[in-house]
Amino acid sequence: MTITWHPGSWNDCPAGQQPSWPEADFYNETLHELGTKPPLVFAGEARRLTSHLGRVANGEAFVLQAGDCAESFDLSSADAIRDKLKVILQMAVVLQYSAGLPVVKIGRIAGQFAKPRSSGTETRDGATLPSFRGHIVNDINFEESSRKPDPNRLLQAYNTSAATLNLLRAFTRGGYADLRQVHEWNQEFVASSPAGKRYEILATGIEKALNFMTACGFDTDDAAMRQVELYTSHEALLLGYEQALTRQDSITGDWYDCSAHMLWIGERTRELDGAHVEFLRGVHNPIGSKIGPSTSPGDALDLCNALNPDKVPGRLTLISRMGAGKVGEHLPAILEAVSAAGHPVVWQCDPMHGNTYATESGIKTRDFDVIMTEVREYFEIHRATGTWPGGVHCELTGDTVTECVGGSDALAADQLGERYETMCDPRLNGRQSLDLAFGVAELLSGFR
């Protein structure tokens, strides 16, 4: 890493997973236009998230990072955003109430539009077209015109992110996320499930506690009761887009990628000498990197040294996505090497991406029990090494979809076709998400 960092220094490094934009001039003009747009988030907010994550790194808080695998331009309606927010708020309340710890909430939302693909092309019935790379690049329909990367989509991604973020800010600051609304977050579909009923009991407990505090004269009108801090995140995949939204903070002079509060590097683009590591090492947002089963302890340590050389707590999250049955083999040596080097990492478990498989009829799915198994293994390993299992990272939606099997409803493989809507990976539905929250809460409350 001998190059001097600047927002475009990644251009001198090999960049994986970038689309081949057909019209270079149009693409460059679009990036230029994006560069003139207002930032979506502010440096001060990103700094505040780093400090919250610093508490997670110190074992004083837990982080819940959740949302779509790939957001859609077409499904960013107010209802869809509200329902996703509801399920995240519910999960956070379950974790916070059970574990008695602050829960830092980060959505995979308002910008999660770009997807890495295992192949650049897709072949169906003898026809080969560019792969779908997320709505920021092309459309999912298997047609030549839809699959052609379109730079207009970069602007549409910015505009959709801005509109989503605007609504999220209104919901989280404008009273909707008020703790006194805790019952209101239990949507009908979720409320009627076993976890939903369990949640009702918990919500009633919170309500009673708030009434008691009000009766004692405490101010339950305080902002901490009325508002929620929900931060945004996405995989920093399309580096042209990320660079265009990178701005120098007028207070500190530091550079921030203002497309989201937190950005992460995916499993497929975490090479030490690659463009993604080069770009993210220079922005001051809190950042993450996925670490899959091919990560050696040396690789993890190299990432820490490259991305957080000053060892700032909360700056770097390592997101373990080993797959159930593989955590014990790969994670302990990584935890030991990173801890021994004194790196204050936020450890997070993504129990989704190592556990995707296709059913006999070829539908991509995940099994709730297997997801829970990876989380359980993750907690056990952290207990054994004396490290803090700081958080979970999952793909979910508030909707009634049928994309993952299992959960307290025991959703079966032959039900997957009923409402399978994801554009990329299978997501937990609202009920399964709450099941997961209760499962994690139990592990968390038994951890200390």
Residue 266's binding partner out of Co ion, ligand PEP, none, with CB under 5 to 8 Å set by partner kind: ligand PEP
Please give the C-alpha separations between residue 298 and each of 5, 57, 172, 272, 333, in angstroms, as whole numbers.
23, 20, 41, 11, 9
Q: Which is nearer to Co ion, 186 or 355 (CB)?
A: 355
Binding letters toward ligand PEP, positions 67-106, x by CB under 6 A:
--x-------------------------------------
Say how many residues touch ligand PEP, by CB under 6 A: 9
CA distance 422 to 396: 10
CA distance 444 to 62: 9
Q: What is the nearest approach in angstroms of ligand PEP to the Cβ of residue 270? A: 8
321 binds ligand PEP, rule: CB under 6 A:
yes
Residue 261's binding partner out of ligand PEP, Co ion, none, with CB under 5 to 8 Å set by partner kind: none
Q: What is the nearest approach in angstroms of ligand PEP to the Cβ of residue 315? A: 20
276 binds ligand PEP, rule: CB under 6 A:
no
| Under 8 Å between Cβ of 383 and 407 | no
Binding letters toward Co ion, positions 63-102, x by CB under 5 A:
------x---------------------------------
Q: How many residues does the chain have?
A: 448
CA dihedral 198, 204, 209, 210 (to 10 degrees): 130
267 binds ligand PEP, rule: CB under 6 A:
yes
Stretch that binds ligand PEP, among 195-203, 265-273, 382-390, 440-448 (CB under 6 A): 265-273
Q: Which is nearer to ligand PEP, 240 or 323 (CB)?
A: 323
Residue 27: which H helix or E strand, with range?
Answer: helix 24-35
Burial class (CB in 10 A: 0-12, 13-18, 19+), 422: middle
Residue number, nearest CB to ligand PEP? 266
Token pair belonging to 66: 């959740």
Angle among Cα 243, 246, 250 to the nearest 5 degrees reads 155
425 binds Co ion, rule: CB under 5 A:
yes
Stretch that binds ligand PEP, among 90-98, 177-185, 264-272, 398-406 (CB under 6 A): 264-272
Token pair belonging to 425: 């990976």
Q: Which of residues 233-262 bind ligand PEP (CB under 6 A)?
A: 235
For the chain, the straight-line distance linking the first and the last C-alpha, in angstroms and rounded, comes to 40
Token pair belonging to 148: 């052609």
Amino acid identity of 367?
D
Binding letters toward Co ion, positions 162-201, x by CB under 5 A:
----------------------------------------
CA distance 370 to 289: 23
Binding letters toward Co ion, positions 284-313, x by CB under 5 A:
------------------------------
266 binds ligand PEP, rule: CB under 6 A:
yes
Angle among Cα 212, 216, 218 to the nearest 5 degrees reads 95
Binding letters toward ligand PEP, positions 290-309, x by CB under 6 A:
x-------------------
Residue with tokens 């921030």: 256
Q: Which is nearer to Co ion, 98 or 138 (CB)?
A: 138
Q: Which of residues 33-72 bind ligand PEP (CB under 6 A)?
A: 69
Residue 276's binding partner out of Co ion, ligand PEP, none, with CB under 5 to 8 Å set by partner kind: none
Residue 290's binding partner out of Co ion, ligand PEP, none, with CB under 5 to 8 Å set by partner kind: ligand PEP
CA dihedral 119, 124, 127, 133 (to 10 degrees): -40
Pairing of strands 287-291, 391-395: unpaired
Residue 321's binding partner out of Co ion, ligand PEP, none, with CB under 5 to 8 Å set by partner kind: ligand PEP
278 binds ligand PEP, rule: CB under 6 A:
no
Residue 116's binding partner out of Co ion, ligand PEP, none, with CB under 5 to 8 Å set by partner kind: ligand PEP
Q: Which is nearer to ligand PEP, 47 or 115 (CB)?
A: 115
| Under 8 Å between Cβ of 392 and 64 | yes
Angle among Cα 342, 345, 350 to the nearest 5 degrees reads 145
Token pair belonging to 105: 């909430």
Residue 247's binding partner out of ligand PEP, Co ion, none, with CB under 5 to 8 Å set by partner kind: none
Q: Which of residues 344-403 bind ligand PEP (CB under 6 A)?
A: 353
CA distance 38 to 96: 34
Residue 348: which H helix or E strand, with range?
Answer: strand 346-349
Stretch that binds Co ion, among 60-68, 77-85, 90-98, 422-430 (CB under 5 A): 422-430
| Under 8 Å between Cβ of 107 and 168 | yes
Amino acid identity of 40?
L
Task: Give the footprint of Co ion on this chain (CB under 5 A).
Answer: 69, 425
Task: Give the footprint of ligand PEP on this chain (CB under 6 A).
Answer: 69, 116, 235, 266-268, 290, 321, 353
